[in-house]
Structure 1
């Protein structure tokens, strides 16, 4: 893989399931993929715009409270024109918008969300989130593989 993929897992790792984004980012970092940079952060901050500006693809990973389905979800993200960064924290769409404003572009982005049901103080994941972690890692592996194949087609040797 020649291009850089930026994986940003975020959430509060002291609030049980809410820390799943950070845990997934840490696991991806342990794969030591040369073209994948993985960051585990407590929250999305404006400083991350610099890292995003140099990425060819961004993957955000976070927990979500399921209302109907307990599936790991993957959705495309676009920079938001409505969501301004409030204070020192952001959501993925506003961070992409800030990146575009500051650097004139932002990478295509995906949001991988893992179902979470336990937000009590602690560092253990619920069964639902633990299962979601394995599924999310599998989906991210597939995304990285498809991205590599896409790049190979764009830049044949």
Structure 2
């Protein structure tokens, strides 16, 4: 099973690098995972998403308390008509289905951030949450038992 992890964020804005940090060492709990580090989701990513058997979106969150881990399955949806740059994960899944006829099962795993100002260090809350967040990512992948939907 080919699992793609899209690790979102930048290491230059503190906890915004949580998705990238979460991807580090993910292969220890999700063997064979392919990690793609990106700052934002673009229409160009739809093709690589369509080729995966499952997709993890890894990101920081401004919602919730610092260090809070949230994980949820995602469903595809139509992208906004006036897409200029960044997409939501659900929109990227919808674009993969519309353009390439495949939408793999997907999940979003986030860690609540505390500090998003310029700097390259993660907050202690985010650092402490990383091992459990990787475990939640593994659990999401184990739930990818739903067959890939095909557009006919």
Q: Please state which band the TM-score falls in when normalised by the shorter chain.
A: 0.7 to 0.9
Q: Which residue of 2 aligns with 1:20?
A: 18
Q: TM-score, normalised by structure 1?
A: 0.81
Structure 1: stretches of 5+ with no match in the other structure: 152-157
What's the offset of the Cα at 1:33? 3.0
**Structure-1 residue corresponding to 2:46:** 49
Count of equivalent residues: 146
Alignment check: 8 A CA contact 1:6 1:52 kept: yes
CA distance in 1 between partners of 2:59 and 2:123 (Å): 15
Name the SS for the 2:20 alignment partner.
Answer: helix
Retained in 1: the 8 A contact 2:59–2:109? yes
Deviations along 1:64-86, whole A, 9 cap, x unmatched? 11346852011111112263572
Q: What's the counterpart of residue 92 of structure 1?
A: 89
Higher relative contact order (CA 8 A, sep 6+): 2
Pick the structure with more helix per residue: 1
Equivalence for 1:105: 102
CA 1:41–1:30 in 2, change beyond 3 Å: closer, same or farther?
Answer: farther
CA contact (8 A) 2:60 2:110 kept: yes
The root-mean-square deviation of aligned C-alpha atoms, in Å, is 2.4
